[in-house]
Amino acid sequence: MQADREGGWLATFYFLYFCALGAFMPYWGPWLHAQGQDPLAIGILTAAVQFSKVLAPNLWGWLAHFWGSRRIVPWAALIAAAGFLTLWLAHGDFLALLLITLTFSFFWAATLPLVDATTMDWAQRRGTAYGRIRLWGSLGFIALSLGMGGLIARWGMAAFLPGITIFLVGAWWASRYLPYSALPVADTPRPRLSAALRHVSLWFFLLAGLLEQASHGAYYAFYSIYAEQHGLGSAAVGMLWGFAVLCEVAFFWWGDRFIRHWGVPLVFTGAFILTALRWGVIAWWPGLIWIILVQTLHAASYGAFHLAAVHWLADRFPGVLRGRGMALYASIVYGLGGGLGALGAGWTWAHWGGRGTFAAAALLALLGAFFLIWALQPAPALEKKAE
């Protein structure tokens, strides 16, 4: 009964957190445009959200190592919600928007890596699957990436700030009841992060992940535009996005079985290769049926990649170090990788067009696979696990 309640709070947090993210990502740019920001300002403000993920998770992970996630996550979630709502005070002033954006995103970036570490700890203690908790985040993303469009169609961009704030406040409420791991007693020696950082395989892993996520820059920034250039309407494009995330949900449901049966190295390598295949087919654009089929590979490019990465990190960052390991992963792979990928996609789109942009994304994923081979050197913790 207690396990069901704890799992329910974790699922609730993921659902509400990603509801907010699913509403934020598609409509942040249009909201800024409605505030009178030009394309350069929108690019800077969008990059500010991404690059805040480089520093913030590492700082919060370091603090959680000493204070515990229980003291940090609820406060960070509450400040993020309050900071996001104060965007309306900027009244379209760029510097005010930039300052508020840096503030709320700095605290927003604190929560997810620490909750991922908490969920992985809880799943290992309870003998359950991390992916079956995490999939609720993907469902939340689908719900609000579609639902926010309906709200905006009814009430205009005035629905953007309060609509997202409601879910951020809900995530804060859920964060108060998560099954955080207890800190070790004061006189217990704590493992040092420096020992893990000395392993070259960790840096190959992070570099590989950075390249894989950077390859998504073309998808997140220009997929909708590229699809419309090939004659698809906005409704069809929205369905392609939603179908991709549904495939991700399916992988999260069954993904831990894949990990147990095939092992982390094989699942990880497959994710990189299928990611490259996905971008290559989109660059080629052989027809709608193939484009629909290739959207199933979102299960690999995001679902399998993230699930394998979490298992890999859980093996290498035990106990109280896990939060810091997840934070390092989030900052370099998603923060730096996502930011550089978005900037690089903008440059290639301007110089090479859509086909060249997605072809370059495929090459990035293949290059990441090369570094992944060096990261996945045989290690006892990553050997194939029996059913």
Just give the CATH number of 196-378: 1.20.1250.20
pTM: 0.78
Q: So what's the pLDDT on residue 41?
A: 80
Query: Do 294 and 274 touch, CB atoms closer than 8 A?
Result: no
- Second-level CATH architecture of 1-179: Up-down Bundle (1.20)
Any idea of the CA torsion for 202, 207, 208, 211, to the nearest 10 degrees? 160
* Contact residues for 66 (Cβ-Cβ < 8 A; gap 6+): none
How many other CB atoms sit within 10 Å of the CB of residue 240? Answer: 19
* Contact residues for 385 (Cβ-Cβ < 8 A; gap 6+): 259, 260, 263
Q: How far apart are CA 341 and CA 363, in angstroms?
A: 13
Q: So what's the pLDDT on residue 383?
A: 37
Q: Which two tokens stand for residue 206?
A: 């992070």
Note the pLDDT tens digit of each residue in 305-338: 999 999 998 888 876 678 788 888 988 998 899 8
Q: How far apart are CA 111 and CA 134, in angstroms?
A: 14
- Phi first, then psi, for residue 317 (nearest 5°) are -125, 90
Q: So what's the pLDDT on residue 1?
A: 64
> Of 170, 180, 194, 204, whose CA–CA distance to 21 is shortest?
170
Note the pLDDT tens digit of each residue in 1-53: 677 789 999 999 999 999 999 888 778 878 888 898 886 787 778 778 877 87
pLDDT band at 148 (very low <50, low <70, confident <90, very high): confident
Q: Which two tokens stand for residue 74?
A: 């609820």
Note the pLDDT tens digit of each residue in 175-197: 999 999 776 544 455 556 666 67
Greater pLDDT, 265 or 46: 265
Q: How far apart are CA 43 and CA 12, in angstroms?
A: 32
Residue-by-residue DSSP string for 1-36: -HHHHHHHHHHHHHHHHHHHHHHHHHHHHHHHHHTT
DSSP state of 331: I
Least confident range of 20-24, 83-87, 255-259, 321-325: 321-325
Greater pLDDT, 302 or 181: 302
Domains of the chain, residue spans: 1-179, 196-378
Q: How far apart are CA 37 and CA 43, in angstroms?
A: 10
